[in-house]
Amino acid sequence: MLNRLRESLSLAMRPVAKGVASTGITPNQITIIGFLVSLVAGYFFFISLQFWGGLLILLTGFFDILDGAVAKASGKVSRWGGVLDSTLDRYSDLAIIGAIILGGLCDPLWGILAMIGSVMVSYVRARSELEGVKMAGVGFMERAERLILLTVAALLGYTWAGIILLALLTNFTVLQRLYHAQKGLGSPSPPAQ
């Protein structure tokens, strides 16, 4: 849902992206910096500094938009960059939620369900798109929504509630995406005999 807003933000950031690109910093370096910021966010959650963890999640989201904008501005869009970005996004998500669990800021069961849902939202999209089904904008909890939900919950001091919502809504999004994929692929064919 917020991916449409992300495209608008990416356009608005074009002047910043051109400036960053002119320094010689590559999109992949920005991706790695964003990942490192997410690890620091996780550390803040681990030591129960929810507010600061939430602020750093916002910064992680900024780097997530900036790397793509710089790739376009510098003409360095690459398939490898896309793979690296997606991979580090999953590690970031799991590191942050894992740190929230280890920091005692949520019930471990809800935390595990949130981790599973977050990964499966991305997996179902990747697998469905491999089969030719467009999945952009399908479901409530794409990555931007997940980051905003956790940020708001942390800034308000209700990280535990954010994790419960994340667990419920990400797994619901998986069901939405599976339904969309099934419609896009048609009825299953009978097994060969």
CA separation for the pair 189, 153 (Å, rounded): 44
Per the residue annotation, which of 64, 67, 85, 89 is the catalytic one?
A: 89
Contact 138, 180 (CB under 8 A): yes
Asked if 93 is an active-site residue, the reply is no
Residues classed as catalytic:
89
